[in-house]
Structure 1
Amino acid sequence: METGQSTCFGGPMKSHAVFELRRYRLHPGGRERLIGLFDSEFVEPQEALGMRIEGEFRDCGDPDAFVWVRSFLDMEARTDALAAFYSAPVWKEHGPHANETMLNSDNVLLLKPVAGTHPFSRNRSREQEARQTMGLIAVNICSLAPGTEDKFAAFFVAEALPILERTGARVDAVLTTERSVNGFPRLPVREGETVFVWFEMHENEDSLSRHQERLRKDVRWTREVFPHMDSQCWRTIEVSRLTPTSRSLCTF
């Protein structure tokens, strides 16, 4: 049996405390154009300003969606880095071409790590490595009542995470809503929401299917743990299946 190995509790290397989960709606056929532009023009300039591009993904269920995650040392660093990047020559030159591919770029969740975790810590060891980009990522978004995220997160870490790992998932990040004021309102975020997000990593479709089958056979998961989590959510847990692009650090 496969076993998951969570890396979200690994030791941090220059740990970042603020994360953006960004989902763009694109014009039909625009995704590959945007990915090419993003990878050739936008990755290094952002990272030079202290941002980290944690992952870039194609949505398996939506050919006109591009999903990516970037992180910052803290909220002040986020404000400064965004102001510098979006006023820089590289964005002025290439930003309009990127925007031409998009219907909407405002579906953004501003997030922070669950206490005691270090999201995407595996990425740090991969930044300087030649790597194969592979895997299937399941991003799970739970919409919660305000003020309940800490209790939900504690239950997830204590009760759900061990089962997910035992049944074959590798959980690389667990995140909740960052409530600080958006210091760069030129880029809107989804405000007034409370969410809990976890990233599951799987080798491929077959390994994800085996993991899901094991969950269905796990009595405690089906009768206790998942029903409790589901009952705390205002709507059905949103699950997106993603594949990493060629430059994504977040990969299996």
Structure 2
Amino acid sequence: MTENPGGSLKIVELRQYTLRPGRRDELIELFEREFVESQEESGIRLLGLFRDLDRPDKFVWLRGFPDMASRTESLAAFYERHPAWKRHGPAANATMVDSDDVLLLRPVTGDLEGAPPAGEKDGVIGLTVRGFRDAGELSAQVRAFTPRTGSQHGTPLATLRTEPAANSYPRLPVREREHVFVHLVRHADEAACRAQSPTLVLAPTERSRMR
């Protein structure tokens, strides 16, 4: 399969946080106030911030990097040196039960930085995760999935696959030794999204770039 991702981001983290009951809005407010500009100042591109509509104590977000080397540098700049994390990181961590459900991915198709069509209201994002064993099975999954997108099936945003490189910033664990295919589709509303049976049904927060 020939990979042809759009945009400059070749590494993407899909992060799913389990929070203490009733504290998701508290974390989102803190995150959007203190950790958007500060991460981007560190070279991290914030792509999407979401409430999981099926799990009230889950916060899901994606961020991107040009490559693995810049990921390592940018994470160190933010978590080890940026005053915003030093000042507010403990408060953020206090809302969390688990922050280690992280997939390290690389885009295959699409552009996660692309804006929604002009004049369209916020959508709902359907995110599908499937395992694969080898390149042939991955190619088959991409081919099988693509015809179902478009028109009433939503607007495809991107397809991603596991990044095979080892995690170069072990302070932040990722789910290693897994091979997954991830597909993101934008739908007009929650009902249209659920009709396609994605793994996750996600509503963008106020400052989410992906909408």
TM-score normalised by length of structure 1:
0.76
Q: Read off the aligned partner of 1:177 and give its amino acid letter.
A: T
Task: Determine the structure 1 residue equivalent to 2:79.
Answer: 86
Aligned equivalents of 2:37, 2:61: Cα separation in 1: 15
Q: What is the DSSP-based 3-state SS (H/G/I as helix, E as strand, rest coil) of the residue aligned with 2:137?
A: helix
Aligned partners of 2:125 and 2:193 also within 8 Å: no
Taking the TM superposition and a 5 Å limit, the aligned residue runs for 1:141-152 are: 141-145=129-133, 148=134, 150-152=135-137
- 8 A Cα contact 2:126 2:198, kept in partner: no
Correspondence 1:13-162 to 2 at 5 A: 15-87=8-80, 88-114=82-108, 117-123=109-115, 134-145=122-133, 148=134, 150-162=135-147
Q: 1:186 aligns with which of 171, 195, 203?
A: 171
Deviation of the 1:166 alpha carbon: 4.6
List runs of 5+ in structure 1 lacking aligned partners.
Answer: 1-8, 213-236
Where does residue 197 of structure 1 map in the other structure?
182
Which stretches in structure 2 are left out of the alignment for 5+ residues? none
Mapped partners of 2:98, 2:105: distance in 1 = 20
Give the number of the structure whose residues are more often strand, by fraction.
Answer: 2
Change (3 A) 1:11 1:143: closer
Deviation of 1:111 after TM superposition, in Å, equals 0.3
Helix, strand or coil for the counterpart of 2:186? strand
The offset of 1:154, in angstroms, is 2.3
Say whether the 8 Å CA contact 2:124–2:204 is kept in structure 1: yes
- 3-state SS, counterpart of residue 35 of structure 2: helix
CA deviation profile, 1:61-115 (whole Å, cap 9, x unmatched): 111010000000000000000001001211110000000000010000000011x
> Which one has the largest radius of gyration?
1
AA at the equivalent of 1:119: D
Percent identity for Structure 1 against Structure 2: 43
Query: How many equivalent pairs are there?
Result: 208
Q: CA RMSD in A?
A: 2.4
| Maintained 8 Å contact 1:121/1:172 | no
Q: Give the letter for the 2:204 counterpart.
A: P
As a proportion of its length, which structure holds more helix? 1
